[in-house]
Structure 1
């Protein structure tokens, strides 16, 4: 069974039950029971002008959230998928090394790429060398390692000011 990280309304199961991501089983159960008392179709039917479809939809979301979060295996899988989705949403874009602005500083090259927040992503030739993406001999020219089998490599770079990241794509020599 594939567990979706978010339901169509955009809320996580934790948000649906109004608990923190690290809530204990007892906290989740208590919130689930409280939500049932509020959103059960028999309790809310005809009140506040809410239609049957909306009541049923909210009730189903609460049931699904409880089904996943009350089962330790399903919850672990859901947490993993949620974490992956959060990390994926923080990656602003894929950027080739050639798209970055290069600036020579002393005996190294520093590469910059602007971030949406106004700051920038940066990496030095020394850092790329330490990651195994630049050869020691040809670092001045930016010569890429030739002994790596893949034709491209990537590394995540963090913005200096915000939480965004870019995936820096580096072409390796054939």
Structure 2
């Protein structure tokens, strides 16, 4: 999955992240028929090799996107990668001001557009651990707040969700 993680699996299938599993299956079947090694048997060796490579790429994308759990994991990785980009932050929200959703195991905050900002407990824990390790390595605790940039689920606004390590912030668990 290392090489596949670098490429957009949806683009490989000619699909969109909002497509259903049935739509993805249809795209996969079309491409698998087009690039299947048995269909390219009469082609020149370089064309057959390129076709085989494309077939394997399509098959790898389908294996990840066809399973609900691996697709969710892939989508989370894509979102994390997008969040690492240099996004303008519209405001700062404190974790303490967010609402804990026990069913989804996420902190939520309403956006002015009617959508929402969501931060999972895993994101909070990972960022806290990462920053604590950085502080230990640098032998300093200058930075007292921790945070992640989160995009609204319906519009283009983004906020920086922050929390303090020194304050006894209760991080809820599922």
Bucket of the pairwise TM-score, normalised by the shorter protein:
0.3 to 0.5
**Rg (Cα) greater in structure:** 1
Question: Which is helix-richer, 1 or 2?
Answer: 2
TM-score, structure 1 as length reference? 0.47
